[in-house]
Structure 1
């Protein structure tokens, strides 16, 4: 029963009226999980938790922070900007509705509301969100390995760079290249080559220990990792484990000049993000370190330290 409940979409009801929360909650619980917030500050916290809502029903007229301000802040936060917001309000003038839509709301429900209409509208917008997420996940996934692709890497790197700039914290990038992979493909065939890339990608993903760390297929036989909060020593540790874990797969490679098994070369770099540092410079530095590792004989790790 708990598993079935956990699979239900989650709706966050934000209203300072306990009666409205009770009526909306009773109407929705047959199809959705429900969380509630009686003020804007709590709503903003709940909207970015790990168990993020699939839709927010948001009252406009609330003390301290009204629904318009809550919606504005939700849409400014990368974690909550894609959560659909439906205003539930007694304000039903064209001007008020236009203001809400301009802030990013997807719909309006006017009080006093008719619960079957509320349920229908919530169902519609939740389904649209889930379909959009499915399409986005397909676009962001590498078909061969099943891990994120370069487009997803670029998006995550941008988010983590901005976060690191705001907090003045470290951010690291590691680039990984499978050594002599063209020779592997030529000797063993593309079928085994594809299988090899899948095994390597699994080894890289399993290497990551922290929830924020991220690895993607960067292109061809190259992979890339974003390591938030990692300084040069931390990035070097991850890079060394990347190299060791791939070698431990013991995938035969008779045509490699680096070893008799499939190996990888890794370049890494890390900086304290600040406005004076261009974000692309971090990736460029990791790329130069990868070039150095390959030029030094491959099956090795190189960084700027």
Structure 2
């Protein structure tokens, strides 16, 4: 599929495409901006440190990177992007006046996907960028499909494990709080026994959709953790914000009013929620966070179900 076909076929999975142009010369940025204006969202950086920061915070879909810059060279920027799990999959195209074979060999060795020579030809630049955007979107879609739970269409356990590791690393680096929610459908075995497994599957789908709608930010993630258990990762979320999210999830699931005649806690399907918040540091780990959330979930179920139990470490 070419880029237009991908954008047409998967509009719900592909948002506005963003291009980061990195060059210490404003005139070069203006030229490239003119090529992409009206076609893509254009981000700009005038030095290497700024480029790395934009990639980490804005996650562009592709980077057009000048090689020769005064602070950090384009080669070093590329190395740092490829060494970071959060940015390693962003394609990098070097834009350079250095056309030697050794320069191209070095660029490909450190992770670049292509080279564009200065002065740029607008037709060539646009064609190459569109080609690499199409390749990236195809890879993103394949990775996405491998990371989605087949029943509920939220993240699967493998996706959750990867996302928790990456969120932990980012919050550790930034000194930011990380909250984790584990939740379980109350008396779900009895629900399946009375209404059948097909109804049970429909219930899980409805709950998963509700949980996903309860999350408000792009970096938040809801995953099917196993069976009738779900997990939600909330980066950069303090204890108060996480408690609000947990309470909202509980209320919105009850608002579905899915009949559960054999529930011990009410006439409708409900959830028990365990929640933990901490600021990662060297003496803690993602496994510790997960264990603490599991303990809070056990406490919620042990003290009557249909409630939120939380702790801040």
The TM-score, its normalising length taken from structure 2, stands at 0.81
Residues 14 and 235 from structure 1, CA distance in 2 versus in 1: closer, same or farther, beyond 3 angstroms?
Answer: closer
Q: CA deviation at 1:35?
A: 4.3
Inter-partner Cα distance in structure 2 for 1:199 and 1:84: 37
Inter-partner Cα distance in structure 2 for 1:45 and 1:275: 23
Q: CA deviation at 1:157?
A: 1.4
Matched, 1:136 2:118: no
Inter-partner Cα distance in structure 2 for 1:23 and 1:233: 47
Which 5+ residue runs of structure 2 have no aligned equivalent? Answer: 1-7, 9-13
Instruction: Give the root-mean-square deviation of aligned CA atoms.
Output: 3.0
Residues 270 and 31 from structure 1, CA distance in 2 versus in 1: closer, same or farther, beyond 3 angstroms?
Answer: closer
Partner of 2:51: 43
SS in 1 for 2:72: coil
Residues 270 and 97 from structure 1, CA distance in 2 versus in 1: closer, same or farther, beyond 3 angstroms?
Answer: same
Q: CA deviation at 1:177?
A: 0.6
Inter-partner Cα distance in structure 1 for 2:33 and 2:207: 47
Matched, 1:57 2:57: no
Q: CA deviation at 1:224?
A: 0.6
Inter-partner Cα distance in structure 2 for 1:169 and 1:32: 31
Matched, 1:285 2:289: no
Inter-partner Cα distance in structure 1 for 2:280 and 2:262: 41
The TM-score, its normalising length taken from structure 1, stands at 0.83
Shifted more, 57-66 versus 246-255: the winner is 57-66
Partner of 2:211: 204
Inter-partner Cα distance in structure 1 for 2:26 and 2:244: 52
Q: CA deviation at 1:21?
A: 4.3
SS in 2 for 1:122: helix
Partner of 2:5: none
Question: 1:196-253 CA distances to partner (integer Å, 9 max, x unpaired)?
Answer: 1122123323333555443222122110112334455554443333323222222111
Partner of 1:66: 73
Partner of 1:109: 116
Residue 86 of structure 2 contacts residue 166 of structure 2 at CA under 8 Å; is this kept in 1?
no
SS in 1 for 2:171: helix
Question: 1:113-135 CA distances to partner (integer Å, 9 max, x unpaired)?
Answer: 55544343322211100111111
Shifted more, 295-304 versus 65-74: the winner is 295-304
Inter-partner Cα distance in structure 1 for 2:84 and 2:229: 31
Aligned residues: 300
Residues 170 and 32 from structure 1, CA distance in 2 versus in 1: closer, same or farther, beyond 3 angstroms?
Answer: closer
Matches within 5 A, 1:58-207: 58-111=65-118, 115-207=122-214
Partner of 2:11: none
Question: 1:145-168 CA distances to partner (integer Å, 9 max, x unpaired)?
Answer: 222222222222112212232344
Residue 179 of structure 1 contacts residue 298 of structure 1 at CA under 8 Å; is this kept in 2?
yes
Partner of 1:295: 302
Q: Which has the larger radius of gyration?
A: 1
Inter-partner Cα distance in structure 2 for 1:170 and 1:38: 30
SS in 2 for 1:292: helix
